[in-house]
Structure 1
Amino acid sequence: MRAIGIILAGGNNNRMRELSKKRAIAAMPVAGSFRSIDFALSNMSNSHIQKVAVLTQYNAKSLNEHLSSSKWWDFGRKQGGLFVFTPTITADNSWWYRGTADAIYQNLDFLKKSHEPYVVIASGDGIYKLDYNEVLEYHIAKKADITVVCKEVPSYEDTTRFGVVKMNEDYRIEEFEEKPMVSQSNTISTGVYVIRRRQLIELIEKCAQEDRHDFVKDILIRYKNLKRIYGFKIKEYWSNISTVEAYYKTNMDFLKPEVRDYFFHQYPDIYSRVEDLPPAKYNAGANVRNSLVSSGSIINGTVENSVLFKKVFVGNNCVVKNSIILNDVYLGDNTHIENCIVESRDTIRANSYYCGEDGVKVVVEKNERYVI
């Protein structure tokens, strides 16, 4: 393809509460066997983008470990490949990334040493499938300076945590508000952009000279009347996991047959790092209904409308309802978990009771069997 890829995966998000204390948002487990960043990486690979940079920063240990081998997304190649960049102290700079534009600026050599004419920028916390070739062709046909991939969400959705856009009949963006208090539109930015590589270098360098650091506020919003910025609407499934509620809802969406069929059975595929684990084991007395149970898990109790990640042990007479159990959790006998997200590597003692009565409850026991 005529583009290189940049995945922004460095930010912290307090709205994920306890879930972001030991991992980056892009490393959050999704749908039983995947990480959030797998969707952007798979889209890059399926769009034949052969050279991709992942910009990591906050709590990047597990994310870097996940990205340690590029073969899973077919980036293990002689030309191109997968590059992981973290903030680096140099003679000229000792800053952490101060924003998305600053993250690109600190790795500007990656852009300057590339030869592809276009850049696809994506965030690491989006759950979707998209052929970036379609966006690029649209970008070229519109003679756009920047193309923003947009999604129209239902009116009942909370759009105040997104960038909200207004477009004219030709899909040119006339208004762009980042996380407005009151939203005037239900069309949001998905955090995916296409831009010419030389123009991106020029805009990022100008931002750095003016001590500006945010790609959305200091480029998209600031230049919306000076540059030709267009929106590309997608109609298929798209979700962002930037809050506990959104993360819970996204995982629960995978219990719907049509969502599972779209991601797991329709081409192109979503890829992830593979662990050699045995299939899930259901012992006598196990009762599982409408749930995703990942490999390496052992079930002895009742599991309903839940997503269980890898290596989860459910003890005797346990009840798990409407919950998400992350990797390597041990649930002791007679435990009741309902409307909860249980943090990975936790040991929940026997006879425990957790129920999210006012929304989703995040369960974190301070008795890990071993460190992350």
Structure 2
Amino acid sequence: MKKSMLGIIDVTMYPEELGQLSAHRSPAAIPFAGRYRLIDFIISNMVNSGIQSVAIFPSSSPSRSLMDHLGSGKDWDLNRKRDGLFFFPALSKDGQLSRLDEHRDYFERSQQKYVLVSNCTTVANMDFTPALDRFINQECDLLEITHKGKSAEMYITSLPLLMEIIDNRHKTGYKTIKDASEDEKSPYTRCKYEYDGLLKCIKTINDYYQTSMNLLEKEKWSQLFNEFQPIFTKVKDEPPTKYIDGSHVTNSMIANGCNIEGEVNHSIIFRAVYIGKESTIQNSIVMQKSKIGHNCVLEHVILDKDVVIGDGVVLRGTAEEPLVVKKGSVVENVVASS
């Protein structure tokens, strides 16, 4: 039964509140938890639930970082002769349903009976099988997955009914699956499935920061990452991180390929980051290939990829408003705070 479900990931619908993190990339490609991208979670959840055909609907010009990260889908076991990973750039600006309609031949050729429609920025480790069981047993037309009573922006329906919703969109006025699910006067029978595990829809920079910091708690980390339902990502071959004499690291996530000479506390450090002598990184996120000079202080800061911080720079944000430094920035001889 699990193999009878089709996966759809809508990458065109995302909030603007992600600011600098999505200024030069699709939100689906935002780096997360040291070595992943946000889209890794929904794709891995689908694959772990037995879904073998995943269709991604990016904007008309898919971001290079997203295409490079996903490639053929090999790292998710989706490089298949039959089914697998598909990209369907969306041209229509008239809503999600119109964008799906542009590629209706894909749906008409599909052999799956059911379909899961999801956003691209929900962080969770979830088996969709119980939700599909609920949908089938309750004999509803459209199931909404919720978390703590709020929508997780994931929906299950039958493939024929999805096509009906698409075809009737001009009569109903629906532009998205969400519209059909939330309309109290909807002609479709609706039901819900409440997921009680760790789940967070990343919609703002604060969502991103707080969700990342929460993973430094062992209990929350183990809810998201486990050997039975692994989260897959593009494999990167990096040497082990070097901890130079005088360095000190506590309660942090450090990816491969780093050189640590300073102090890191309660922070997430991505691949190939350099941290200079006498520098202190606290409550911060440093993305891949960034370089931090000597005698620096970073507190409640998010450094995007390839940022260079000169010697003696002090950057401070707050837990409520972390300071974001955009990708590729060079920061020298300043003291900044948010």
Q: TM-score, normalised by structure 1?
A: 0.83
**Contact map agreement 1:330 1:346 (CA 8 A) in 2:** yes
Tell me if 1:146 matches 2:148.
Answer: no
Superposition pairs of residues 64-143 of structure 1, within 5 angstroms:
64-87=67-90, 95-143=91-139
Aligned to 1:194, the other structure's residue is in SS state strand
Q: Distance in 2 between matches of 1:324 and 1:304?
A: 11
The one of 41, 44, 50 equivalent to 2:43 is 41
- Alignment of 1:222 with 2:224, yes or no, is no
In structure 1, distance between residues paired with 2:185 and 2:162: 15
Distance in structure 2 (CA, Å) of the matches to 1:288 and 1:205:
57
C-alpha distance in 2 between matches for 1:214 and 1:8: 10
CA distance change for structure 1 residues 12 and 129 in 2, over 3 Å: closer, same or farther? closer
Determine if contact 1:302/1:318 at 8 Å carries over to the other structure. yes
Is 1:289 aligned to 2:247, yes or no?
no
What is the aligned partner in structure 2 of residue 360 from structure 1? 322
1:231 aligns with 2:192: yes
Report if the CA contact (8 A) 1:53-1:82 is conserved: yes
Residue 310 of structure 1, CA deviation? 1.2
Give the partner amino acid of 2:225: F
Counterparts of 1:103 and 1:303, CA distance in 2: 45
Aligned equivalents of 2:55 and 2:62: distance in 1?
Answer: 18
CA distance 1:224–1:129, shift in 2 (3 Å): farther
Q: 1:150 corresponds to which letter in structure 2?
A: T
**Segments of 4+ in structure 1 off by > 3 A?**
95-98, 208-212, 222-225, 365-369
Indicate the residue corresponding to 1:272 in structure 2: 233
Q: Which secondary structure does the structure 1 equivalent of 2:168 belong to?
A: helix
Structure 1 regions of 5+ residues with no counterpart? 88-94, 153-186
> 2:9 maps to which residue?
7
AA aligned to 1:73 is W
**2:165 match:** 203
Distance 1:351 1:61, change over 3 A: same
What letter matches 1:111 in structure 2? F
Give 2:307's aligned residue.
Answer: 346
Kept in 1, the 8 Å contact 2:14–2:203? The answer is no
Cα displacement string for residues 300-340 of structure 1 (whole angstroms, at most 9, x for unaligned residues): 10000001111111111111000111111111111111011
Is the CA contact 1:296–1:311 (under 8 Å) kept in the aligned structure 2? yes
Report the Cα distance in structure 2 between the residues aligned to 1:365 and 1:2, rounded to whole angstroms.
Answer: 41
Gaps of 5+ in 2: 332-338
Which residue of structure 2 aligns with residue 323 of structure 1?
284
- The code of the aligned residue for 2:13 comes to G
The code of the aligned residue for 1:67 comes to L
The one-letter amino acid paired with 2:158 is: R
CA distances 1:99-133 after superposition (whole Å, capped 9, x unpaired)? 32222222222111112111011111001111112
Quick check: 1:22–1:59 contact (8 Å CA) kept in 2? no
The Cα of 1:277 is off from its aligned counterpart by 0.7
Question: 1:11–1:25: 8 Å Cα contact kept in structure 2?
Answer: no
Amino acid at match of 1:220: S
Q: Which amino acid aligns with 1:85?
A: F
**By how many angstroms is 1:262 displaced?**
2.5
Q: Matches of 2:187 and 2:15 in 1, distance apart?
A: 31
Cα RMSD (Å): 1.9
Q: Give the conservation status (yes or no) of the 8 Å contact 1:97–1:103.
A: yes
Measure the CA separation in 2 of the matches of 1:50 and 1:208. Answer: 31
Report deviation, 1:359: 2.0
- Whether the 8 Å CA contact 2:241–2:257 is kept in 1: the answer is yes
Question: Residue 365 of structure 1: CA displacement?
Answer: 6.9
